[in-house]
Structure 1
Amino acid sequence: MYGFQQVLRGMANPSLAVREVNRLYHTQLGRQTGNPRGIDVFEEDWDNLLILDACRYDMFEEQHSLPGTLESRISKSSHTSEFLKSNFADRDLRDTVYVTASPMYYRNKDRLNAQLHDVINVWQDLGWHDEYRTVLPETVGKFALDAAEEHSDKRLVVHFLQPHYPFIGPTGRHHFDLDQLNFEWDSALTGDMGISDEVLWTAFRENLDVVLPHVETLMTKLQGKTVVTADHGQMIGERSAPLPVTDYGHPPGLYTEQLVKVPWLIYENGPRRDITAESAAREDADVSDETVQDRLADLGYL
């Protein structure tokens, strides 16, 4: 679930070492992958699932003005790779089209062994924004509407990157150098980032503000029952558990409330779609390993 290098880093830094102890607690000494209290998103009732990456429930509740009824759910994951493994792996999802700004599915597709009708990798060349080192939410929205028109009889999963880093609001652009591809939330945990929690919160909130209008556009244009949710949350200086270390980011294998309580906003727009399952529509285009690694580095994963 996590690598030998992470263990070595944990041994070298007290805060990281405490995190590793907490991770062992949450994963039952590494025997458990994924949060057992979390929901299976494909067993829930929806036609369109709009996923915000790393969006906390409390932040969403305070900031959004979207139509619909807001509830909460508990996620199976504290990291996108866990979310995919816990929800997609070894599933027959031929009634579903996945539009994603994240390279995580492509990176893990062979291990996931999921059968989807189509996967639209927006993060490839046409969708990637070279200046901001991410996929902008308006780009995701355009790809999603095209997919909905082409696959009108399929469930639609749309995975935005925001509010996940890189920060593309004014505070984030001022304080974070997007030309440095070695961003890690661990540097906040170890005290090496040099950025205050207040600045981090502001940058994160601005990233949510950037994506919400494009989420609303999809909600009002997509037919049927739409749910807005998140793959996982985010920690920004809260105390983890059971050992009370101040933690940051969304490390896999930690299932604190900030990391697994996610929004579940329900909105119905017109009649429900008739959903049918079919074989895969096309094969994924090959992408070089270097491109995948570069995208993940830009997003702060490597």
Structure 2
Amino acid sequence: MITQKLKKFIANPHLLIGEIRKGAEKANIKLHQQFRSDYGELAIDQDWDNLIILDACRYDTFVERNHIEADLSRFRSAASHSWEFMEKNFVGRNLHDTVYVSANGFTPKIERGTFHALISLLDKDQNKDTVLPETVIEAAVEASEEYQNKRLIVHFMQPHFPFIGPTGRSFYHRGLQAHKQSGSEEPNVWEILQWKHSGYDDVDEALVWKAYRENVDIAIDAAEKLLKELSGKTVVSADHGVLIGDRMSPIPIRGYGHSSGLRLPEVTDVPWLVVKDGTRKEIVSEDPVVYTDVEANVVEDRLQGFGYK
């Protein structure tokens, strides 16, 4: 007797390909965790006064699009996913000399008291698909002025999708508003590419690459604007990269997105752009003062819109 699942595969062979890709990715992750466990470096341990994080920014794409004149090198992150990045860099640490301004959806998971101040922006721009760069810049400038003797981490959500450039706005790929309108059953952009969902025939790798590059441009422009407002030693980097049809290893199947535990250059090699401006900060560690609480439903909506759920 033909099972319901087999009927689906017969009706749409792309679903079977998607299942194979999913299984191969899981196998690759297991192999990476077993044989590449001592992998990458921690951004928090490096020398900087200000750290600007561009979410999901690949090193190769940054090199291709960057116009900021500064010392650029490749940095190998110890994570391929935002929460994995936070776990490795922040969780269990006393970072009372640091202020964290973040548009990332996993920020509320960080334990209260980890930073001197944690400012989550998830409740901003709720009529938009994402937290906009301008919102992050404004909050970061305010934080830099208020906490002049603290290390400052500024976490933009771009170039991670939703794609907000002209190409990205031209096709459906799920964001906060799309989630609110249609619910979580709609696929995100990586699911569309991996599973070849019917009804999204216009969404292919070339289109997504174009939209991603536009988001990288937007993120770099935002970083450049913020750099003009910061003093000391500032580093522009990323938490992780992303797969857009790149072949994984050791099982050489095409991958999409950036699942936790992957140890591949496309998802772990990120930019490390060093900009020095004026005198270094005199950093002082002090007891925590601020932790921005965000309502659970807002966090859930944001994670759905960013494709994490």
Instruction: Confirm whether residue 17 of structure 1 aligns to residue 13 of structure 2.
Output: no
Give the deviation of 1:190 after TM superposition: 2.3
* Equivalent residue, structure 2, for 1:190: 195
CA distance in structure 2 between the aligned counterparts of 1:183 and 1:203, rounded to whole angstroms: 17
Q: 1:13 to 1:228 in 2, by over 3 A?
A: same
Give the deviation of 1:11 after TM superposition: 11
In the alignment of these two chains, the number of paired residues is 283
Q: Which has the larger radius of gyration?
A: 2
Paired letter, 1:90: G
Contact 2:24–2:253 at 8 Å: present in 1 too?
A: yes
* Equivalent residue, structure 1, for 2:142: 146
* Equivalent residue, structure 2, for 1:167: 163
1:120-159 deviations in Å (ceiling 9; x for gaps): 11122xx22413x111111101100000000000000000
* Equivalent residue, structure 1, for 2:101: 99
* Equivalent residue, structure 2, for 1:4: none
TM-score (norm 2): 0.87
For residue 130 of structure 1, give the secondary structure of its aligned residue in structure 2. coil
Unaligned segments of structure 2, at least 5 residues: 1-14, 180-185
Instruction: Confirm whether residue 116 of structure 1 aligns to residue 115 of structure 2.
Output: yes
CA distance in structure 2 between the aligned counterparts of 1:57 and 1:166, rounded to whole angstroms: 19
- What is the alpha-carbon root mean square deviation over aligned residues? 2.0
For residue 161 of structure 1, give the secondary structure of its aligned residue in structure 2. strand
- Of 45-54 and 171-180, more deviation after overlay is shown by 171-180
Instruction: Confirm whether residue 266 of structure 1 aligns to residue 265 of structure 2.
Output: no
Paired letter, 1:123: L
Paired letter, 1:266: V
CA distance in structure 1 between the aligned counterparts of 2:133 and 2:260, rounded to whole angstroms: 25
Q: 1:173 to 1:43 in 2, by over 3 A?
A: same
Paired letter, 1:236: I
> Which residue of the other structure, out of 126, 130, 133, is the alignment partner of 2:127?
130
Instruction: Confirm whether residue 210 of structure 1 aligns to residue 206 of structure 2.
Output: no
1:198-223 deviations in Å (ceiling 9; x for gaps): 10000000111112222112212201
* Equivalent residue, structure 2, for 1:156: 152
CA distance in structure 1 between the aligned counterparts of 2:205 and 2:64, rounded to whole angstroms: 18
Q: 1:68 to 1:284 in 2, by over 3 A?
A: same
Contact 2:95–2:115 at 8 Å: present in 1 too?
A: yes
Contact 1:10–1:16 at 8 Å: present in 2 too?
A: no
> Which residue of the other structure, out of 257, 281, 305, is the alignment partner of 1:298?
305
Contact 2:241–2:268 at 8 Å: present in 1 too?
A: yes
* Equivalent residue, structure 1, for 2:48: 46
* Equivalent residue, structure 2, for 1:180: 178
CA distance in structure 1 between the aligned counterparts of 2:291 and 2:264, rounded to whole angstroms: 38
Give the deviation of 1:38 after TM superposition: 1.1
Unaligned segments of structure 1, at least 5 residues: 1-8
1:158-193 deviations in Å (ceiling 9; x for gaps): 000000010111111101254432343133122225
TM-score (norm 1): 0.89
For residue 28 of structure 1, give the secondary structure of its aligned residue in structure 2. helix
Paired letter, 2:301: D
Give matches, 1:3-82, under 5 Å: 13-28=19-34, 36-82=38-84
Give the deviation of 1:12 after TM superposition: 8.3
Contact 1:129–1:136 at 8 Å: present in 2 too?
A: no
* Equivalent residue, structure 1, for 2:3: none
The ranges of structure 1 where at least 4 consecutive aligned residues each deviate by more than 6 angstroms after the TM superposition are 9-12
Q: 1:198 to 1:279 in 2, by over 3 A?
A: same
* Equivalent residue, structure 2, for 1:5: none
